[in-house]
Amino acid sequence: MSTRPKLISGPIDHFIELDAVKAALRLRHVEQDDYIETLISAATGRLDGPEGALGRCIMPQTWSSQESMTFAGSYRLPLVDVRSVAIKYFDTAGVETVLPDTEYQLKEGRGQSVVVFNEDFEMPDTYEDRNEFTFEMTAGLPDASPKIKTVATAAMMMIVQWYRAPDGMTEDRGEIPAGVTHLIRDLKVTRV
């Protein structure tokens, strides 16, 4: 059993601020702040997270994924840019237990995040021998990453275009303009 990652808690901070968008649009009034916030949310939603156009989390957020594991060794996480991971399971008594983080290492590289279990690691006995484990991951680009500025620029371009041409928008506000596609091309994560 493998589940798609589920969002536990979204980002606390935004990678693009209302004041920056208003400056780009040369707006000083507050009458359209709610509308602009909606455009910021639409652009963020279109780019951010494993299902977004980038295929990665931009700002730190927590996701969960359930996996059946019958072996130790390594496990490729369903997200990239993972900052931390907690591995949980139900022991033979049905009590949720957190696997000590001394039993594994989190490794990043080549567009993937991997949990590598220690050589002497032994799979714990699980409730009804289900071998179901929950991986709770915090993922997001490093705080000082220049990639965040690139993504913010891409989102700004989308928002400005949507704001200036609302009549030309299709029902799918998620359509990404060609210039933005070019800008974010190298930031996309492709999973195999």
- pTM given for the model: 0.83
Of 83, 92, 81, the C-alpha closest to 49 is 81
Coil vs helix vs strand at 77: coil
Q: How far apart are CA 59 and CA 52, in angstroms?
A: 13
pLDDT tens digit sequence for 63-107? 999 988 877 788 899 999 999 999 999 999 999 999 999 999 999
Give the pLDDT band (50/70/90) at residue 138: very high
The H or E element spanning position 162 is helix 146-164
Coil vs helix vs strand at 146: helix
Q: Which DSSP letter does residue 167 get?
A: G
pLDDT tens digit sequence for 4-58? 899 999 888 788 999 999 999 999 889 999 999 999 998 998 999 998 999 999 9
| C-beta separation of 137 from 84 below 8 A | yes
Query: What is the predicted pLDDT for the residue at 168?
Result: 54
